[in-house]
Amino acid sequence: MTDDDPAVPIVCPECDTETEVPLSEIADMLDRHNDNQHDGEECAQVDPALADELQDLVAEDMGLLE
């Protein structure tokens, strides 16, 4: 993993697991985990705290909070 491809925390409350994966692999990893472990149900996800923080930063950058 390089600085150009940061690690993103992934959590799965159903499996009680947490891991970090490169940003470039996140969609494939989530799909694969959810397909293999949960019959396609979307259990594993980007850490909700990080997702909320990113959402706030994007909204601020786009001027949506003004």
The average pLDDT across 7-24 equals: 95
Inside any domain, residue 49: yes
Beta bridge partners of residue 17, listed in sequence order: 12
pLDDT of residue 2 exceeding 60 = no
Inside any domain, residue 1: no
How far lies 16's CA from each of 9, 13, 29, 43, 52, in Å?
13, 5, 16, 10, 20
Contact (Cβ atoms closer than 8 angstroms) between residue 37 and residue 12: yes
Inside any domain, residue 2: no
Inside any domain, residue 66: no
Q: What is the pLDDT of residue 63?
A: 87
Nearest 10 degrees: Cα torsion 45, 46, 49, 54: -140
Please list, in sequence order, all residues whose beta carbon lies within 8 angstroms of the beta carbon of residue 34, skipping any fewer than 6 positions away: 40, 41, 42, 43, 44
pLDDT of residue 61 exceeding 60 = yes
